Amino acid sequence: MKKLHRVIVCGSAMLAGLLLAGGTGSLSLCASASAAEASPETLSNGSVIELQKLNLGDGVILDKIKASKCDFDVSIDGLKQMKAAGVSDAVIQAMIATKAPAAGGGGASVAAPGDPNDPKAAHDVGVWLCEESNGQKKMTKLEPESFRMWMGGGPFGGASRAVLTGLAASRQVSARRPVFYMYFGENGQGIMGSTSPSELPLAKFDLKPKTQERLLIVGSVAPFAGYNSGIKKESLRAIDQEKVAANIYKITPKDDLADGEYGFCYTSAGGMGAVGKMYCFGVHTK
């Protein structure tokens, strides 16, 4: 027992001596570890690509950029890398904004990225649905649907139709006058070949339950008159358009839309009367 007591006493004395002799170094080591934990991470192109692969959504990535120290490569090669990885235009714009010079002096400042649910913020080129609930807006991009052309008629004329598969679009709304925003992009970048909302008329489709298709007449042929392109008047729905910012337009139907299937359709003056795809949605209130 005496021997064991001496070992414990000696061990305690050695530990105390070590703490007194090397206390400064130990405290320094702990302080360094604490500082390392507290130091903010630096976001890079690779960081954003990792977040993109996690499918976190633009809102989360934009908030992360806003809250972090950033060092992005926004050169042409860097932007190509981001686009190839599927990073959205809104996120890329936020990355570029971090390189903007600080107001009133040199150096770089992290600019607040755009809110993906703010209609006036940057969005991918296309047509977006804006829905509002409890004072909060939610922006959803309409994915364009492909159509095939079909020509029918007889000796006294006929019509060309755009044919879409399925009786309903993937996006359905309950509002009689849904609100949309069209983003045309910079440098004349259009939407499916169009350069203004007037070239993307809103039309109502005819439904064919037997074949499970949506149809839209986009041209007609008459004896001695030849081929005429254009959506028939009965199918068109009037819209109000308002330019809210550069290359951004707010689109609202002038009148209540009846239950049915609709689309913003780009048509050309040549060929079979229509090219490209259509931005489709349905209105169902019952």
For 166-187, how does the pLDDT look when each residue is reduced to its tens digit (9 = 90+)? 999 999 999 999 999 999 977 6
Q: Which of 97, 118, 143 is the last residue of a domain?
A: 97
Is 4 within the bounds of a domain? no
Q: Are residues 134 and 272 in the same domain?
A: yes
What is the CA angle 5-10-12, rounded to 5?
95
Q: What tokens were used for 43? A: 């976001």
Q: Which of 50, 81, 97 is the last residue of a domain?
A: 97
Is 249 within the bounds of a domain? yes
Is 20 within the bounds of a domain? no
Q: Are residues 130 and 69 in the same domain?
A: no
Measured CA to CA in angstroms, residue 136 lies from 118, 119, 132 at distances of: 10, 12, 5
Instruction: Give the other-Cβ count within 10 Å of 32's Cβ.
Output: 10
Residue 10 above 60 pLDDT?
no
Q: Which of 80, 97, 114 is the last residue of a domain?
A: 97
Q: Are residues 139 and 66 in the same domain?
A: no
Is 63 within the bounds of a domain? yes
Residue at 181: amino acid letter: Y
pLDDT at 150 (0 to 100): 79
pLDDT at 75 (0 to 100): 86
Residue 89 above 70 pLDDT?
yes
For the chain, give the percent of residues with pLDDT over 90.
33
Answer whether 218's CB lies under 8 Å from 230's CB: yes
> What confidence tens digit (pLDDT) does each residue in 96-143 have?
878 754 433 333 333 345 678 999 888 889 999 999 988 889 999 999
Domain carrying residue 200: 126-283
Q: Are residues 72 and 147 in the same domain?
A: no
Q: Are residues 141 and 243 in the same domain?
A: yes
Cα separation of 161 and 213, whole Å? Answer: 11
Please provide the DSSP assignment of 124-175 as one string.
-SEEEEEEEETTEEEEEEPPPEE-EEEEEEETTEEEEEEEEESSS-S-EE--
Q: Are residues 59 and 142 in the same domain?
A: no
Q: Please tell me the number of Cα atoms within 13 Å of 250 on its side-chain side.
A: 15
Three-class SS state of 91: helix
Q: Are residues 60 and 183 in the same domain?
A: no
Is 104 within the bounds of a domain? no
Is 251 within the bounds of a domain? yes
Measured CA to CA in angstroms, residue 153 lies from 23, 211, 228, 267, 269 at distances of: 95, 18, 14, 20, 20
Q: Are residues 239 and 143 in the same domain?
A: yes
Q: Pairing between strand 260-265 and 236-237? A: unpaired
Is 258 within the bounds of a domain? yes
Confidence of residue 94 (pLDDT cuts 50, 70, 90): confident
Spacing of C-alpha 207 from chain mean position: 30
Confidence of residue 80 (pLDDT cuts 50, 70, 90): confident
> Which strand (E) or helix (H) includes residue 30?
helix 2-38
How confident is the model over 60-87, as a mean pLDDT? 86
Average pLDDT, the chain: 77
Residue 19 above 70 pLDDT?
no
CB-based burial of residue 282 (10 Å sphere; 0-12 exposed, 13-18 middle, 19+ buried)?
A: buried
Q: Are residues 132 and 71 in the same domain?
A: no
pLDDT at 229 (0 to 100): 67
Q: Are residues 148 and 279 in the same domain?
A: yes
Most confident stretch, 29-43, 77-91, 99-113, 160-174: 160-174
Instruction: Give the other-Cβ count within 10 Å of 140's Cβ.
Output: 13
Q: Are residues 146 and 219 in the same domain?
A: yes
Phi, psi of 205 (to 5 degrees): -85, 150
Cα separation of 44 and 70, whole Å? Answer: 6
Q: Are residues 184 and 272 in the same domain?
A: yes
pLDDT at 274 (0 to 100): 44
Most confident stretch, 30-34, 186-190, 224-228, 266-270: 186-190
Is 240 within the bounds of a domain? yes
| Domain total in the chain | 2
> Which strand (E) or helix (H) includes residue 263?
strand 260-265
